[in-house]
Every structure is written in C-alpha cells, then in structure tokens.
Structure 1
Amino acid sequence: MTARLRTLATAAVVLLVPIVVASPAAAEAPLDVIVAEAVPASDRAERAVRAAGGQVGRPLGLIGGFSATIPEAAWAAVQASPAVAGLWTDGSVQLTDYDANLEQYDRLPPNRVWRQAIGLPSVPPGTNGAGVTVAVLDTGITRHPDLQNRVKARVDLTPDGGGYDTYGHGTHMTGLVAGNGQRSSGQWVGVAPGASVVPVRIAEWNGATDISEVLGALEWIYNNRTRYGIRVLNLSFGTDSTQKHQLDPLNHAVQRLWSAGVMVVVAAGNRGPGGQNIDKPGDDPFVVTVGAADTKNTVGTTDDVLAEFSSHGPTGENVAKPDLVAPGISIVSHRATGSTLDQMRPAARVGTYYFKGHGTSQATAIVSGVAALMFQAAPTMTPNEAKAALVGTTSPGLGGQPGAGSGLVNAAAAVEAARTRAYQRNPANVGLERSAGTGSIDSSRGGSKPYTDLNGDGVPEQVSGNIDALGNTFDSTAWAARPWNASTAPNSPWAPYINVSAGWRTTPWTPDAWAGLGWDEPSWTAQSWRDAGLDPGNWTAQSWRSEAWN
C-alpha cells in the first residue's frame, strides 16, 4: 500500500464524541494520549499538557485536538482542565495478555491425518460440496490450480481492488474449505473439494481492516447470496470487543445473514484460557463458533486436547462458547507466494504451493467445509438445523473439556444427520432474540483501531469514535434500521468502493479510491512489512493476532 494521497474528493465532516474514561492502570512508561480541546482555536489545552509535564504531539484537526505524551500521574490533572474536552489513551493495536506465539508450531511436521480424524473418508462418495458456495470474508485469494474454475467471483473493498491476497491468510482459508489437492497429487485436499467459493477481501498486505469495512462486506454478501448460491460464510476474524451482543452492530450483521439462510461460521479466537476470551462476533449466540483442537497428528481421538491458544468461553453474557472444535495445528493449505505471511514465516512453507497454518482460523475453515458438505446433502436445511446437527454429532473425547464445546467435529456423522434431517424438528437457537445493532461501532472495534487518512492531508489518523473508515459519521440506529436489498445497496457508504471480478478474470479498477488502512502510521505509509520496520521474530505480537485474523 502506498502513502494514500488520493482520497475522497469530498470528505465528510466527522463528529467524534470525546470519551472521558477512568484513569488507566499504573504504568512506568509515559502515556500516549489523544486530547480533545474545548476551544480548538486556543492554545490552552496545549499549555495544560505542558504544565503537567507532558509533551504536545501533532495536531488532529479532524477532532479538534492533538496527540500528546503525559506522565501517568498527570492523567487526572489534564483530564480536569477546563481547556480539555476529552482525554483518552492512544497507541497501536497490541496483543492481548495471552501471547499465542503461533510461529512455534511452524517447526512441526505437517498434520497428514486431520481429514481422517474428523471422519472425512467416511463421507459418502460424491458428497464434496458441489452446488454449494462458501463466502470467505478475509484477505483475498491467490490464483491456485487446486481451485480450478470454482471461484465464482473475487470481491474487494480495499483500494487495490483486484481481490488477490497480499497478506496470505485468506488464501489459506479458501484452500482448506475447497482445495482439491491437484498440485499435491491429492495429498493436501480441503474439506469440500467440489464447493465453489467467493472470496471477499477486506485487508491488504498488512492485514489491517476496520469493523465498518467488515459491515460493508457483510451487506454485499447478504445482497448477493442468491446470485452466487452462498449458503456458508467463513469468518476467521474477530475483535476483543466486550460490547453486549444484544446491541453490537457486528453481531446484528451476522444475524441478518443467518436469518437469510447463510450459515455463519466464526473463529473463537487465539486468546487462550481464562474464560470470556471469545472474539466478536464469535460471541454471538446464533452463529457457529469454532475452537481449535490439538489432535497430536493421530487419527484416534483419545489423545486429543484443546489447543493451548484456543479461546475459552463463556462470553460476557454467559453464552457457552465455542460450540465445537476442529483440528487447528500444522494444517496444510494453499500458499500465497510472496505474501506477508509467506515472507515472514519461511519455516511454514510446504513446497512451492502449500503452507502450514495454525489457529482457530484453520479450525473454522474446516468446519465451513463440513457445512458445505451438509448443505449439498440437504439443500433446504436451515442454518439452525445445520448448527444442531454439527454440534449434536461431534466425536467423543474432547466434549465437556473447558473450551472444547461439544467436542471435535465429525464430518461423516454431520453429513448423515443432514441427509436424514435428523435435527429438523430439534433445531438450534430456538427462543433467541436478535441483536438490535444500535450499539457503538467504536466499542465493536475493541482494541482493533486502524489508521487511515481521514481528511486527505496525507497524514494518517486513528479510526476512533463513531465514524467509519471512510470518515463518515456512523449512526448505528439508522444503520440497523436500513434494510439490506438491491434497492438500498447503493446507500451503503462502501458501495462505490466494492470491485467485483468474475472468477479469475480481472475487472478494470481505479486504485486508491479511498485511503486504505494500517494498524499504525508506519504500516499505513509502507508498501511492505520491511518498509514498516516490523520484526519477523515478533510477528505474532505485531500482526497475526493483533490484526484480528485468528
């Protein structure tokens, strides 16, 4: 991504509500803060910061304030100054308390038996996902022979517009869902090698995205689900937001898809044990939330354990999560050659065309593939019935262990339950109430707040407050009330920035139609991880989890 100097010709006026928060926990290091001024034209707030022993940083005209560094002990004094309208902490996205350190698994041999462990060889011949389309909302896709002509469309909401994966995560997910193993002579096959896919790209080389961009992508999937035959959505993404699912816009969006007949399969997250660590929207009671199992590279299930990084529930609203688990360590899938992950993790490469991945993302893609097999077996099945069948047919062993939900997914049993409609009269989610969607979009972001050039001056600002990544004020009440259909689609603020290419063909696109995103100022202006000064040895903390790809 180049420095974004070409932005929207008419930037909207952004209203950022000042946030007053309690004093942060004590820390030895000075605090990086954002200061909103009561009177932006004066220098009184700047003088208040300096009087408290702080240093004034760059102006933030968009919010009528500036960045600054202050001693922790000065927080209360600066906050109490009549010249300060609001004060909150600033900083790049950080890894949560649990460091998954997924790279440690790169040295392990590839898991060659996970397909057997989940019963795929016992799925009836001919049940391969044919006729079912899985949307993969992620970082795009790399051209790969294992997908042949089963890519129905490449959708891109980023300034690049091409739909191709420069980060490396989405390619891996898509291969696990639907790769046919052609380049490996059948060795590295996905779960549903007959299924079609629609990759929807929401992040470029640095993996940076925003909740508002995700919402725009989810609306596109909703409005195009019938056209492309989308029955399953793979969402290996999440934030650490603790906003109640009854109000959160992201929860509301995935529930719209669910109610429209699209089964949404979501990663639990890689934040480990401790409870209430489920990423949003995996906290949603409707969706299928997937944790990761360590199957010890064996076919039998007696030695299976929950992967140490897999997030534990319940959620903050005491919803039992995850719903089930799938293999999530040393899983081989498609390699996005030259992508960020490919360059920074050479030990994970498996030959020229494949790559090892680890996390609840991989587990989620596996379950999405199983769901595709189920919908082929029972095309009229609802997501509620499919969820009940998935959760009700898991293999014994892990069931009941903290963080493992009902246990390890059993593909053969789930497909048979779908074929016989065993759960038609006993579906999941009965009696659940849908999210209002009227909560704060900023709260939905949690700690995942990217940077972009909101006002077109060539300097990035953090996307914070009730605005979207395009600089528009986000009115969640009006957003939640607006129906999603063909007539209202042009009203989405993201509509002008969605490029759709058929299959592997390229649709002409004007690049840099909006400013794009980074997780901090260096990653916004840089074109690669090297330009951004990222340390390959610290990639987990810098990007893999902090950028919300599980």
Structure 2
Amino acid sequence: MFIDEKWQQLYSKRLTASLSQEIFGARRTRVQVIMEFSSYHEYCRARTRRAVRKQGGKILYELSLINSIAVELPVDGLLELIPEAEPAVVWPDVTARCCLDVAVPAAGAARAHRYGLTGKGITAAVIDTGIDPHPDLVRPESRLSGWHDLVAGKPEPYDDDGHGTHVAGIIAGNGSASGGKYVGVAPEALLVGVKVLDQDGGGPISRVIAGIQWVVENRKNLGIQVINLSLGAPAEKGYRKDPLSRAVEEAWRRGLVVCVAAGNQGPGEGTITTPGINPSVITVGSIDDQRTIPRLDDVMTDHSSRGPTVDELLKPDLVAPGARITSLKPGGDYTTQTGTSMATPMVAGAAALILQRHPTFRPEQVKRLLLQTAEDRGYHPAVQGAGYLDLVKALGLPSEEA
C-alpha cells in the first residue's frame, strides 16, 4: 500500500515507534499486533472483526479487559485497516519470556507452617508454561483446581517446558515425593494453571493478557485470590499505556493480588520489564540466600533487574530468594533453577499465607504488610525495594528466641 501524506498526518502516530520500525524498517510482510481502542463496544468489535477478515487477517484474542484486540495480518492490510477501524494505538505483539537466569526456611515459611499457616483455603493462578500433575501437587489429593490452555487447547494439565511446574512447586508443593524435604511456601493452597507460554518458555503478550483476562473472568467461581506472573517483556511505554501493565492493573482493581517478576536484565539500572513496571502490583527482585537458613550472608543477585522503571518509578517492591532454588520437575522429580521467576512465587506463596491469616485483606493491604515488614539489607531502593521478604514479621509470628 502506498502511504500518502494524508495517511502520515492522520495515522502514523497511532503506531508505536518499535512497530513503525518493524513495518517500514525491517520490511515485514505480515505482523502480529494489538489494536487498542478508546472504547471497544459491540459495534466497534463487529466493525473491526469484519475489517480484519477483509484484509486477510486473523483475530487471535479479544482483549476486552484493556479495550483491545490482537490480530495477525499482512502489513498492507494493517495500514488499510487503521483508517477503517480507527484504533487509538497499535502495539507490536512482542514476546514475553520466563524470567530465568534452603530458600523456603530462609524466607520464614517453615515457621509459618508450624503455626498452621499453610495457604489452606487460598487459590493462586500460575500464568506460565503450564503445570504438570506432579505428586507434590496431587497427593494425597489433587490441589489443581482449575486449568486453561491458551497454547494448544488441551483439557488436562501439562507442562512441556517445566518452568510453570517449578513455579507452582515454590508456591504450593507439599514435599510428597521428597519425604518433606522440598516444601513450598503455601503447601495446602490450591492452584489454577493457565498456559500462555510455549515449550520454549515464550509467547506473545496478547496471549498473556488473554490469560489474565480468563483469570479475572473466572476468579469468583474458582476462588482465585493470587496471580503469579514469572515472566516479562521489554517496556516501550509507561505503565499507563503499556498493554500488559494495563491488564495487571485491571486484575489488581478486581481484587487479585498480582505478583510479577522484576526481570533478569540486571545489574544495570532501568531494566525492569513489563508488567513489573506497574506501580500497583507487587514486583519481585531476587536475592541469593547462599543456601543457608541464617539471612546474614544473603546478597543481591546480579541478574535481578533494577529500577527505576521507564516512568522513573522505584521498583522492585521487595526481594526474595531466587538463586539455585530446588522445586518440581515434570514427571515427578526435582530440579534447581535461578531467576526472579523463582523469587516471585515465594512472594505469591507469602501472599497466600497472609490471606489465610487475614481473610478480609484487599490486595493493597497485603502489599503494604509485605513492604512494611521487609528487612532492609542496605541496598538502594532501586535494587532491593523495601527489602528482603520476612514472613515471620509479616505474619506476626513470635521470633525464634521467644
């Protein structure tokens, strides 16, 4: 399609800078994008669907949570579609990836378990590569209470990458297959698996947003109170505009405690990924517990992303153990992994314990308690946030000496 001066004046600013580069610089023939509308009512949806199909495109996801639609279509078709559909902004559908690069006792969870705080009655959604029905999650009875596969549409839980299973074990593994050696933070919590990342640990952000939307829509019938997102993508715009950031903001507003990884692009500053850039949600960095229970020797990991965010906001919010974490492996075994992907479910599990102890708490109250009781390790707030997760203080448990 020939781009004339009128098109340039009226519509060029609706493309983000990276999408313009992808279209006009890289000379792509087909693109996958997220079209955002100021108001996405039924007439607008129907008009856009017709226009997408007319241009030889395919509708991937209806993202009503953020007034958007994800489509894949020829570049010429997109350029002709924009004047017809009138989107406010068109974003590239970039890839989100897993944030990979002794911990449970160090975080204080073992002592919480001794006081009967195990996450019982709380449900957490793991939006990731899936969840394998590992013995630690299904024995003596299954605690996988829900499942939704946006990658292959399979009806039963599975994990062809392993990342989501590892995350799920950190939140809620009960140590069944290890004789109690490897126990998660909330070993009696229920889990809902939402598969949005493929066997290589990646997937378009539109699919991640669709997963968040599914959780929001099903939160009441499945009793979901916590979301874990151990994934991230580069942030091109600020949190108010970024599609993934807007999706987690909506989930937070609907009463869900959203825990997200800071990213693994450290130690450079300004490396927080989306959706960790959002100020409402709980953004988690990684600390190395040195595989010891005492916390005095624990140090920040180099891989953990640092703030400030693209909006110059201080993030992460706090840090948790994320180095050499042993957790579940599909097929019934265990494996060790490192990254803010591992630190995030530590905090998601902690949120489950707080909600068990304080059933009426709203997300902002859970976050405030976690941050107020975090242990200052002496790092800059753009490195450690409020400090190191301290479940003993957060849950108001007596000290070891008491």
Q: For 1:127-167, what per-residue CA distance to the aligned partner results, in whole angstroms no more than 9, with x for missing partners?
A: 10000000000010111111121110111111242441101
TM superposition shift of 1:181: 0.2
TM superposition shift of 1:101: 8.7
Which sections of structure 1, spanning at least 5 residues, go unmatched? 1-16, 25-30, 38-59, 66-89, 103-112, 338-351, 418-550
CA–CA separation in structure 1 for the residues paired with 2:350 and 2:182: 16
Question: What secondary structure, in the 3-state scheme, does the structure 1 residue paired with 2:312 have?
Answer: coil
CA–CA separation in structure 2 for the residues paired with 1:147 and 1:202: 20
Tell whether the 8 Å contact from 1:276 to 1:312 is kept in structure 2 after alignment.
yes
By relative contact order (CA 8 Å, sep 6+), the higher-ranking structure is 1
Equivalent residue runs for 1:227-238 within 5 Å: 227-238=221-232
Tell whether the 8 Å contact from 1:400 to 1:407 is kept in structure 2 after alignment.
no
Tell whether the 8 Å contact from 2:257 to 2:281 is kept in structure 1 after alignment.
yes
- Counterpart pick for 2:343 among 345, 354, 363: 363
Q: In the alignment, which residue of structure 1 is the partner of 2:384?
A: 404
Closer, same or farther in 2 for the Cα pair 1:125/1:321, shift >3 Å? same
TM superposition shift of 1:234: 0.2
TM superposition shift of 1:229: 1.1
Q: In the alignment, which residue of structure 2 is the partner of 1:129?
A: 119
- Counterpart pick for 1:115 among 98, 104, 107: 104
Which residue type is aligned with residue 326 of structure 2? V
TM superposition shift of 1:183: 0.5
CA–CA separation in structure 2 for the residues paired with 1:23 and 1:193: 47
- Counterpart pick for 1:303 among 297, 300, 315: 297
Tell whether the 8 Å contact from 2:239 to 2:278 is kept in structure 1 after alignment.
yes
Is residue 154 of structure 1 aligned with residue 160 of structure 2? no
Closer, same or farther in 2 for the Cα pair 1:285/1:23, shift >3 Å? closer
CA–CA separation in structure 1 for the residues paired with 2:17 and 2:333: 50
Which residue type is aligned with residue 263 of structure 1? V
Closer, same or farther in 2 for the Cα pair 1:61/1:322, shift >3 Å? closer
TM superposition shift of 1:307: 0.4
**The 10-residue stretch of structure 1 (156-165 or 173-182) with the greater mean CA deviation from structure 2:** 156-165
Tell whether the 8 Å contact from 2:357 to 2:395 is kept in structure 1 after alignment.
yes
Q: In the alignment, which residue of structure 1 is the partner of 2:34?
A: none
Question: What secondary structure, in the 3-state scheme, does the structure 1 residue paired with 2:225 have?
Answer: strand
TM superposition shift of 1:297: 1.6
Closer, same or farther in 2 for the Cα pair 1:247/1:181, shift >3 Å? same
Is residue 375 of structure 1 aligned with residue 365 of structure 2? no
Q: In the alignment, which residue of structure 2 is the partner of 1:390?
A: 370
Which residue type is aligned with residue 374 of structure 1? I
TM superposition shift of 1:19: 7.4
- TM-score norm. by structure 1 comes to 0.55
Closer, same or farther in 2 for the Cα pair 1:208/1:35, shift >3 Å? closer
CA–CA separation in structure 2 for the residues paired with 1:383 and 1:277: 25
TM superposition shift of 1:214: 1.3
TM superposition shift of 1:316: 1.5
Tell whether the 8 Å contact from 2:96 to 2:203 is kept in structure 1 after alignment.
no
Equivalent residue runs for 1:49-448 within 5 Å: 62-64=74-76, 102=101, 113-123=102-112, 125-148=115-138, 149-162=142-155, 163-337=157-331, 353-398=333-378, 400=380, 402-416=382-396
Question: What secondary structure, in the 3-state scheme, does the structure 1 residue paired with 2:131 have?
Answer: coil
Closer, same or farther in 2 for the Cα pair 1:199/1:94, shift >3 Å? closer
TM superposition shift of 1:360: 0.1
Closer, same or farther in 2 for the Cα pair 1:358/1:414, shift >3 Å? same
Which residue type is aligned with residue 239 of structure 1? A
CA–CA separation in structure 2 for the residues paired with 1:195 and 1:237: 22
Q: Which has the higher strand share?
A: 2
TM superposition shift of 1:21: 7.4
Tell whether the 8 Å contact from 1:290 to 1:326 is kept in structure 2 after alignment.
yes
Tell whether the 8 Å contact from 1:138 to 1:235 is kept in structure 2 after alignment.
yes
Equivalent residue runs for 1:464-483 within 5 Å: none
TM superposition shift of 1:293: 0.2
Which residue type is aligned with residue 283 of structure 2? T
Q: For 1:330-382, what per-residue CA distance to the aligned partner results, in whole angstroms no more than 9, with x for missing partners?
A: 10110024xxxxxxxxxxxxxx6101010000000111001000000011101
CA–CA separation in structure 1 for the residues paired with 2:100 and 2:206: 28
Which sections of structure 2, spanning at least 5 residues, go unmatched? 1-13, 31-71, 78-91, 398-402
Is residue 33 of structure 1 aligned with residue 34 of structure 2? no
Tell whether the 8 Å contact from 1:191 to 1:369 is kept in structure 2 after alignment.
yes
Closer, same or farther in 2 for the Cα pair 1:255/1:20, shift >3 Å? closer
CA–CA separation in structure 2 for the residues paired with 1:306 and 1:395: 13
TM superposition shift of 1:300: 2.2
CA–CA separation in structure 1 for the residues paired with 2:210 and 2:261: 20
CA–CA separation in structure 2 for the residues paired with 1:94 and 1:177: 21
CA–CA separation in structure 2 for the residues paired with 1:234 and 1:168: 15
CA–CA separation in structure 2 for the residues paired with 1:251 and 1:61: 24
Greater Rg, structure 1 or structure 2?
1
TM superposition shift of 1:261: 1.0
Tell whether the 8 Å contact from 1:398 to 1:406 is kept in structure 2 after alignment.
no
